[in-house]
Amino acid sequence: MWRHADESRKRFPPIEYQSQQTPKHYGITSPISLAQPKEADLVLTQKLIETLRPFGVFEEELELQRRILVLGKLNTLVQVWIREVSEVKNIPSSVIDNVGGKIFTFGSYRLGVHTKGADIDALCVAPRHVERSDFFSSFYEKLKEQEEVKDLRAVEEAFVPVIKLSFDGIEIDILFARLALQTIPENLDLRDDGLLKNLDIRCIRSLNGCRVTDEILHLVPNIENFRLTLRAIKLWAKRHNIYSNILGFLGGVSWAMLVARTCQLYPNAVASTLVHKFFLVFSKWEWPNPVLLKQPEDCNLNLPVWDPRVTPSDRYHLMPIITPAYPQQNSTYNVSTSTRAIMVEEFKRGLAITDEILLNKAEWSKLFEAPNFFQKYKHYIVLLASAQTEKQHLEWVGLVESKIRILVGNLEKNEFITLAHVNPQSFPGPKEEIDKEEFSTIWVIGVVFKKMEGPENLNVDLTFDIQSFTDTVYRQAITSKMFEADMKITAMHVKRKQLQQLLPKVAIQRSKRKHSSDGLRAMNDGSLDLSVDSDNSMSVPSPTGPSAAKIARASSPQGHIYFVILSFDGIGHGLKIFIISYLIMLIIAEDGTKPDNVGTSSSNAAQKGAAPLKRPGSPVLHDSEKKPKVDSVQQTPHLSPCLSAGPANKRPASPLGNETSKKVEEVRQRSHITSNADLSDVPILPTNPIPVVKNSIKLRLSR
């Protein structure tokens, strides 16, 4: 019922707990505790509600009524449309009078935990004579005629086909399911497994969201306690950057199932206790043991279900959380080694904080304090997706984001990387050319390198890790015929301080620890600040190409070696100027040479093998002497795998097929831009006889 979620969800009154027994057994095991809440638990729950309010997790009553009104209009529209289709198809009038048709909701709205401004997930259920093609043709046209409808778009070829729209300012995603019924009764219960008979797979997928949501609500002892707890956990997960199914963390339905399992284990507990028990249970959960809300049932419909005894691939799922509705699926198949480790660590931190809260040593606000992702790691990989128009950019960003988990998986497999943490929040990227229209989005991945045992330097090549990711993205873009020549992916390595040059000022929080130089200033109005601490030799953004500059500098044999390799193909004039100016600033900062002497001193150093150039001492260097240090880097936005300069390195086999490889090669040619920047206003570049290693990210780690 589309009204059900809102009518049952009211403003939270002052908590007055009435003792209630739990006669029904919930879940696949007995409860851990049937203890009734104490007065202190009720007080803490009220404090939790007050803490949540400023975060906008509760919607105002006026907005709530507006959603109900919009869904009512949409439901009426569906019923009118189905009647019209029925008449066109010569359905008997006696059937048309009762043909029905209905809008169901699912997701956070159906669960009753949606936030202010959140979209609504809806399902249009139609009788058997209404085809999917009718939904994407005549119903689409009917929506287009409504003056309240804006931003209407159909995604018919998606895994779960959908129509997206804004109805009176409320974002709605509408799926379609055609049931094998002559009419759709008003009291239809989608949890009935018999409804799945004789349905095509797309209809089964569309129905799955509603069926899972309804099952969850039927499997918790107390819906209001469940909802308040889920609101708190979802807010906590978002604040701690671990809320995203597509990037390998958990999505809304997975968090809901974990909270529901906690409610089953503590059926009489109120929200304050349930939040604490949530962290207790899942910080100690022995993954990959699955989380189940009910025993799986076999309906003999021959649909694929999650079962590691039958399906070998299911045995490799790291954090299985199984949906309660048939066909049972693992909602967390995207979880990787890194994302699971990150989430388990956050569970443990959450447990420590809620322990303090229950002992009145901390307030609830501490649980929702957002950690500074951009201070958490020393090394980051920045991924930038750009396109010429806003429409192309939206499509391109959606595709790239859906594949980032592949990049994380590739990085995890690298023997020198222990963890890769992608921030679910994306940011607008910098423009390459101020006077050129371009739309770009940035994602940031924190990387932890393994600690090295020996004293020797270690060369880490991330080329193929990046390359196989970009190949996959370009291949799908070409196959789906969405690719345009100006769609680009750029990957670059940066250290902690350099992030401020790439991200908006609001994205970077000032570190509590003050640096003597105060680090780098954030981007402002598209300009990049050049006040760089030379200890953090920046990995410069540098799309590859034939026209390139390279600087090689060395210190004493006991010191560190580092390289900055860059090339200019496919890069805007403004960014070229910045890169060149930045390199000159680096040289001046290190050896005190004047700008007009840069070309001579650097070229001599490169040609002669160079007298050692010592780097000035730095507190950052001394603090991290025992940690891996990244010394050289180059990144690629292109497709061809990298060949390093050494003869021992072999070209990796392309994961693309022959036909697609030819198309990809055409993309490379179309994307190729020869560097012809006017550098008359920039000091002369240092000459460089060393050949450029193209299309790669190469790092040198030293003790």
Higher-pLDDT residue of 179 and 596 is 179
How far from the centroid of its chain's Cα atoms is residue 603's Cα? 44
**Considering 47, 142, 173, 355, which one is annotated as catalytic?**
173
Would you call 342 helix, strand, or coil by DSSP?
A: helix
pLDDT at 702: 56
**Considering 26, 109, 206, 234, which one is annotated as catalytic?**
234
Q: Which residue has the tokens 């045995």?
A: 315
Average pLDDT over residues 431-443: 78
pLDDT band at 554 (very low <50, low <70, confident <90, very high): very low
Question: Looking at the predicted structure, is the pLDDT value of residue 506 above 60?
Answer: no
**Considering 108, 386, 537, 632, which one is annotated as catalytic?**
108
pLDDT band at 561 (very low <50, low <70, confident <90, very high): very low
Question: Looking at the predicted structure, is the pLDDT value of residue 151 above 60?
Answer: yes
Question: Looking at the predicted structure, is the pLDDT value of residue 189 above 60?
Answer: yes
Who's near 72: CB < 8 A, 6+ residues apart? Answer: none
Average pLDDT over residues 174-185: 94
Active site residue 316: no
Higher-pLDDT residue of 699 and 98 is 98
Active site residue 108: yes
Active site residue 134: no
Active site residue 41: no
Active site residue 119: yes
Start-to-end Cα distance in the chain: 63
State percent of the chain over pLDDT 90: 47
| Separation of alpha carbons 192 and 103, rounded Å | 17
Question: Looking at the predicted structure, is the pLDDT value of residue 370 above 60?
Answer: yes
Q: Tell me how far CA of residue 642 lies from CA of 475, 509, 646, in angstroms.
A: 18, 36, 12
**Considering 6, 121, 471, 535, which one is annotated as catalytic?**
121
pLDDT at 235: 96
> Positive or negative CA dihedral for 393, 395, 398, 404?
negative
Question: Looking at the predicted structure, is the pLDDT value of residue 562 above 50?
Answer: no
CA atoms within 13 A on the CB side of 249: 23
Per-chain mean pLDDT for the chain: 75
Average pLDDT over residues 590-602: 37
Strand segments (E) across 76-137: 102-106, 120-126
| Separation of alpha carbons 211 and 349, rounded Å | 33
**Considering 119, 168, 355, 461, which one is annotated as catalytic?**
119
**Considering 109, 214, 238, 243, which one is annotated as catalytic?**
243
CA proximity to 568, closest of 590, 541, 586: 541
Q: Which residue has the tokens 């049932």?
A: 297
CA atoms within 13 A on the CB side of 480: 16
Is the Cβ–Cβ distance between 480 and 668 less than 8 Å? no
Q: Tell me how far CA of residue 587 lies from CA of 250, 547, 575, 620, in angstroms.
A: 45, 21, 19, 19
The β-bridge partners of 153 are 164
Q: Tell me how far CA of residue 520 lies from CA of 41, 428, 621, in angstroms.
A: 46, 19, 17
Active site residue 73: no
pLDDT band at 521 (very low <50, low <70, confident <90, very high): very low
Higher-pLDDT residue of 497 and 189 is 189
Average pLDDT over residues 663-684: 37
Question: Looking at the predicted structure, is the pLDDT value of residue 283 above 90?
Answer: yes
